[in-house]
Amino acid sequence: MVANCPRLTIAGIGGDSGKTVISAGLCKVWQKKGLKVIPFKKGPDYIDMSWLRLAANHPCYNLDLFLMNREQVLFSFMVNTLHADIALIEGNRGLYDGIDAKGSVSTAELAKVLVSPVVLIVDCIKVTRTVAALILGCQRLDKDVEIKGVILNRIATPRQEEIIRKSIESYCRVPVVGAIPKLTDVTFPGRHLGLVPPQEHPMAEEAINTAAKTVEKFLDMEKLWQIAVQAPPLSDDSEQLLVDTHTSFAEPSDKYPVFCIQKNDQSPINKEQLTIGVIHDSA
């Protein structure tokens, strides 16, 4: 099977770098333009993916190299993007953070499996030239990871942005595809497990739309699209057949927290989505 879907992996230097807000904003911008956006979330996360699902108006799928082997990850991605205009993969934690010192099952490893260009988000709180050192380190740690763009987040002043941009141009030779200033109105609410699910946020749609407006204003959408379409075609040796079967999957309608992982359905024909109340409905 061969698939040729434009794709981006959105990664960060660490957690709380703005990956989900920016990823959701990108999904919403493209979705509003009439594109079929397929979102993916690295790892077994169930909250971030619910925000991405809302933004893209399409199910979000988990890709986890700990729970799935490389062939399964690749096959799931290819099948679920057969008719997509673009796929967005949101990483977790830092780009190279995995379960050991080698970075096993990290976002970087996932990007390599998917041969996906990486756009790296850097939190720029109280830092200037050091950002270039961080990016340079990420570039040199694994040269098979294709870092194709950088987003500067939480920029304080135009002077800070100018210094950081010039430093990156001088040392890293990777384009800065946007710089987002410190903003108080472009956040998703959080708590001990990370973000609050959109089902519990009374203004979730408004939050998504605000993120989209911010992304359109401060990011170079044309450059991001060019990076995505440069991703090479994918192929695998799978002999699995896409059988025309009826498949059902369910998602919770309750506002209460629940661990619910979107099934990576490998037969995209005749899917039926069921909505259930985990607390109030009986099996």
Res. 44 pLDDT band, cuts 50 70 90: confident
Average pLDDT of span 83-90: 97
Give whole-number Cα distances, 182 to 65, 152, 165, 217, in Å. Answer: 34, 10, 17, 14
- The pTM of the full predicted model, rounded to 2 decimals, is 0.84
Which tokens sit at 65?
């190299």
Which tokens sit at 56?
């893209």
pLDDT at 265: 52
**Interval 188-211: pLDDT, tens:** 554 433 456 656 555 778 889 999
Residue 217's nearest CA partner among 189, 183, 188 is 183
**Interval 96-115: pLDDT, tens:** 999 999 999 999 999 999 99
Full set of structural domains in the chain with CATH: 2-237 (3.40.50.300)
If you average pLDDT over every residue of the chain, what do you get? 85
**Interval 124-174: pLDDT, tens:** 999 999 999 999 999 999 999 999 999 999 999 999 999 999 999 999 999
Task: Output DSSP code: residue 219.
Answer: B
Q: Is the pLDDT of residue 246 over 80?
A: no
pLDDT at 253: 52
Average pLDDT of span 19-37: 97
Q: Is the pLDDT of residue 20 over 80?
A: yes
pLDDT at 207: 87
For 27-31, 43-47, 264-268, which range has the lowest pLDDT when averaged over its residues? Answer: 264-268
HSE (side-chain half, CA atoms, 13 Å) at 128? 9
SS3 89: strand
224 touches 8 (CB < 8 A): yes
